[in-house]
Every structure is written in C-alpha cells, then in structure tokens.
Amino acid sequence: MTDRYSRQVLFPGIGRSGQESLQTKHVLIIGAGALGAANAEMIVRAGVGQVTIVDRDYVDFSNLQRQNLYTEQDAVDRMPKAEAARKRLAAVNSDVHITALTQDADSAFLEQITARNHIDLIVDGTDNFDVRFILNDVAQKKRIPWVYGACVASGGLSMLIVPGKTPCLHCLMDTMPGTGATCDTAGIISPAVQMTASVQTAEALKWLSGNTEALRGTIFSFDLWKNQFSSVDVQRMKKRDCPSCGTKPVYPFLSYERTTKFAVLCGRDTVQIRPADVTKRNLAKLADHIKQTTTITHQNGFLLSFQQTPYTVTAFRDGRVLIQGVSSVEESKRVYYQYFQ
C-alpha cells in the first residue's frame, strides 16, 4: 500500500483493513452530473478498486458552475459526461479501474449490468424519480445497497438504503419532499451539491470499508441558505406490503406499465411523453416553477406551453408532455427531465 492513502489509513474509522477492503470493491455510479461527478471524484480518490460511471448526457456550459470534473473544452466538444469523467478521474488515480458507459439507465440496462457484474454499492447521481424508482427496484431485486441523494437550490437529502434492513425508496415515497422543483426551475448553488455528495460518499465509505456500525441509518436533509439541518429515523416506515421490498415483492417499476413512455409522433418532429403515475397535472404549480426561468407562451385550463430554445414544451392537464422541434427520444429525455421530476 502506497503513501497515497496514508492519511485515510490513519483515520480510525477506516484503518489499514478498511483501506484494503475498499480496494476490492466495485461501485456503480448512475448519473455523472453534479452529484455523480462529486461522488465519483471522492470515491476514486479514496481508492475504491473499481468504479463504473453511467450517464446519457453530454457536458454543457451550464454544468460548469457545479459539476467539478468538467472543463470548458469538454463543453465546447460536447463530450459525453461519462467519458469526460473517466478521463479526468484516470488522471487522478491510475490505481482505480474506471469504466465509462454513455447509456440511458433504463430498467433493461440496470438489470443487465447488475447481472453481469458484481456490484457492491450503487450511488445515485440521477436527476429524476423515474430512474430512481427503477434503480430502487433493481437494487431490491439484486440485494445491492444504494445511496439515495438529491439536491436543488440550497438544500439536499440523502439516505443509504440496504435491502432487507432499511425502508426502500418506495416505502418512503409519501415521506420524501415533493416540490417538483429542479435545478432548471429553482437553480442550485455548488455548496448544496458538495454537501449532499459528501454525506453520500461518507455512507458509501462506511459500507465499503466494513464499518456498518457507523452508518447513520436516517434520512439526512439540510438547507444551507436557511441554516436548517435534520436527521430523521424512518425505520418505522418500512412496509411489509411494499411491492418493491415487502414480503411478496413484484418490483413494479421494472414493468412496462410503470415506466414513463417516450414516443416520436410520425411526421411532426415532436416527441410525446406519458408519465406512468401522473393522471392529472397541477398546471398552476408547474407555472410557478417555469416562469422563474423562462416565458410561458400559452396557458389555459387544459395546457401550458413554454419555450426551451429551440424547442416548444407543452404540458397537458392529463399528464402528457409534448416537446416540439425534436425527433430524438434521447434529446427529448434531456429536455423533459430539466423541468419534470
């Protein structure tokens, strides 16, 4: 073992045995945006042996304010985030085997990668609950612990979810804050990202080094601007009848019926998105978020339209969304998840 990890080895919570354990572990990071990039850097610097990074997007100039692995040249080149992250992290620590996958993390992909690889821990760096609920079901099905994390504006929250021991995300879905705000509607400050990622990575290092007695076991949340912090014990929220982690799990978010559906409308240069669980959209609440960052062009009792240049986005009361000016499902996902959780 080199001096690279000497300060980490000196820390009693990890020590030499913990460091040796880290070097045998494989972490899967879903999303290489703000949270994914911050987690990836800390995990790679800590000397975790194998890291796989998955992201479908490319680097944009708007990312550089908070996504610490990327450069202006990455944005100019529109480098895929996963590959840009791999290149940067390989220069930081050549001891770690890093795999980059420019891929949409849908249910088929997540089931495949967890079946083909031994994964010790999954880190949530996603930006929407569609993927998180799929990730939660895959993690429960494959019995892989994962670290949930989310941040927006000046706040964030995190929790380590351990199959068979803690409540899963589906158990907690009625407890989680549901503002609907995203970084593109409410903004975000970089310290909120780093705080959330630090809490996530701390729990990851505890688990990977075998120090399970140090695990927090709560949902930790904070708002740095309002100087608010909380840590809530949610163990009682674990549900025996939860369809994702209960006594008779069916993993509903891995089924076609419970996925958000994207369809290219023939001849219209438009993609229609139909969320699985939205039957009535609150257009007034959506308008409050949208008007903070862009101009609403049309609004009535049935729909709301706004510009996301060069696209026109229309949200209907029945939950559907149309994105006009795009024929690629992948590009429509990038636009959709900027505004809809």
Catalytically annotated residues: 183
Question: Listing from the earlier edge strand, what are the strands of the sheet with 261-265?
Answer: 261-265, 270-274, 321-324, 311-316, 303-308, 296-299
What is the rounded CA–CA span in Å between residue 268 and residue 221?
44
SS3 annotation, 53-114: EEECCECCHHHCCCCCCCCHHHHHCCCEHHHHHHHHHHHHCCCCEEEEEECCCCHHHHHHHH
What is the rounded CA–CA span in Å between residue 121 and residue 133?
16
Contact 175, 242 (CB under 8 A): no
Query: E strand or H helix at 200, and its extent?
Result: helix 190-208
Token readout for 261 is 């559906």
Q: What are phi and psi of 125, to 5 degrees?
A: -120, 25
Contact 82, 53 (CB under 8 A): yes
Query: E strand or H helix at 30, and its extent?
Result: strand 26-30
What is the rounded CA–CA span in Å between residue 23 and residue 96?
8
Alpha-carbon dihedral of residues 151, 154, 160, 163, nearest 10 degrees?
A: -40
